[in-house]
Amino acid sequence: MKIVVLDGYTLNPGDISWEGLEALGECVVYDRTSLTDVQETIDRIGDAEIVYTNKTPLPREVFEKCTNIKFVGVLATGYNVVDIATAKEKGIPVANIPTYGTAAVGQFAIALLLEICHHIGHHSKVVHEGAWEANPDWCFWDYPLIELDGKTMGIIGYGRIGQSTGKIAQALGMKVLAYDSYRNPALECETCQYADLDEVLSQSDVIALHCPLFPDTEKIINKNTIAKMKDGVIILNNSRGPLIEEQDLADALNSGKVAAAGLDVVSTEPIKHDNPLLTAKNCLITPHISWAPKESRQRLMDIAVDNLKAYVEGNPQNIVNK
């Protein structure tokens, strides 16, 4: 069985092993494959039966030219890079990795929030530059510091990751208002309640996005929804960049309506130089790394291997195009 990994570097830059896949067949791993040159993708797949991709697109042309493909594994939760309809038409199962990064992504959302509240990186930097030594007082701060205890976090999308973020927020003394199309009454308690979207928008001190990108959630944060928010709200997004209308958020940051934003995702990745959020006030942007602790990447690798084993054994799992 011939296995091709089209873009393995982000998952495994060298600190984990491909041995699980290598044990299942002849395995060729490419660090990167062009996102735009379909012919390169076709040439690299060749006569392989098993194809793994993270962000390299697999359009219809790939399936029509690479007729030996029997199984596609996506090294991520999102699978929009694969033409799953064509794969289904040709009887090719496509498996994703649904739950590998729950703890890591929830932790990162809170890390963004804590950095906004305390600016730890900045204050450490200026101490090393000598600002504390030269200060006439025994302490100083360059930004307002924020205590979270007693404040309300609104979470849009209360699935596994939203719940992970909410659990930590409650441990910090925050109340959680959760908005989700599916409500699980067992999750409600004194410090966590479901609410409709307008209530979440109007009552939250912090709004965290943890919903999937669907037509009804695309640009859910825009000038109209921002207008319903408290003055000085904090917005967090480490879910999907297109959930936010970026110019509207930049305008709200620059006007002070939104006090700060912590973002790990943007609409086009890597970020473009003309993204308005790059020059917006109080906007913290990280390069889509919420998912990337070694522990969660190892978990992703393990599930990717298990997905292939399950397919070989005739019991495919995590199939997105049944």
What is the Cα gyration radius of the chain?
22
What's residue 290's pLDDT? Answer: 98
What's residue 121's pLDDT? Answer: 97
What's residue 25's pLDDT? Answer: 97
Q: How confident is the model at residue 54 (pLDDT cuts 50, 70, 90)?
A: very high
CA 283 to chain centre: 17
In the structure encoding, which two tokens stand for residue 195, read together? 């609410």
Phi, psi of 195 (to 5 degrees): -150, 160
Q: How confident is the model at residue 245 (pLDDT cuts 50, 70, 90)?
A: very high
Residue type, 65: K
CA of 178: how far to CAs of 107, 110, 181, 251, in Å? 17, 16, 10, 26
What's residue 36's pLDDT? Answer: 96
Concerning whether 288 is annotated as a catalytic residue, the answer is yes
Interval 70-99 mean pLDDT: 96
* The domains spanning 2-100+294-312 and 102-285 adopt the same CATH topology: yes
Out of 123, 240, 297, 299, pick the active-site residue: 240
Q: Which helix (DSSP H) or strand (DSSP E) does residue 155 occupy?
A: strand 152-156
pLDDT tens track for 258-301:
999 999 999 999 999 999 999 999 999 999 999 999 999 999 99
Out of 60, 118, 160, 288, pick the active-site residue: 288
Concerning whether 273 is annotated as a catalytic residue, the answer is no
What's residue 249's pLDDT? Answer: 99
What's residue 2's pLDDT? Answer: 98
The overall average pLDDT reported for the chain is 97
What's residue 246's pLDDT? Answer: 98
The rounded percent of the chain whose pLDDT value lies above 90 is 99
DSSP-assigned letter for residue 188: -
For residues 230 and 210, what is the distance between their CA atoms, to the nearest angstrom? Answer: 20
What's residue 199's pLDDT? Answer: 98
The C-alpha angle with vertex 260 and arms to 259 and 262, in degrees rounded to 5, equals 160
What's residue 276's pLDDT? Answer: 98
Concerning whether 269 is annotated as a catalytic residue, the answer is yes
For residues 98 and 76, what is the distance between their CA atoms, to the nearest angstrom? Answer: 8
Task: List the alpha helices (DSSP H) in 141-193.
Answer: 160-171
Q: How confident is the model at residue 139 (pLDDT cuts 50, 70, 90)?
A: very high
What's residue 17's pLDDT? Answer: 98
Query: Quick one: which of 275, 269, 296, 315 has its CA closest to 98?
Result: 296
In the structure encoding, which two tokens stand for residue 276, read together? 């308005």
Interval 197-202 mean pLDDT: 98
DSSP lists the bridge partners of residue 192 as 176, 189
Q: How confident is the model at residue 143 (pLDDT cuts 50, 70, 90)?
A: very high
Out of 64, 89, 188, 269, pick the active-site residue: 269
In the structure encoding, which two tokens stand for residue 302, read together? 């393990």
Contact 16, 294 (CB under 8 A): yes
Residue 26's SS3 state is strand
What is this structure's pTM?
0.93
The superfamily in CATH containing domain 2-100+294-312 is NAD(P)-binding Rossmann-like Domain (3.40.50.720)
What's residue 180's pLDDT? Answer: 97
What's residue 79's pLDDT? Answer: 93
Interval 201-211 mean pLDDT: 98
* CATH number 3.40.50.720 given to 102-285: yes
What's residue 264's pLDDT? Answer: 98
Q: Where are the domains of the chain?
A: 2-100+294-312, 102-285
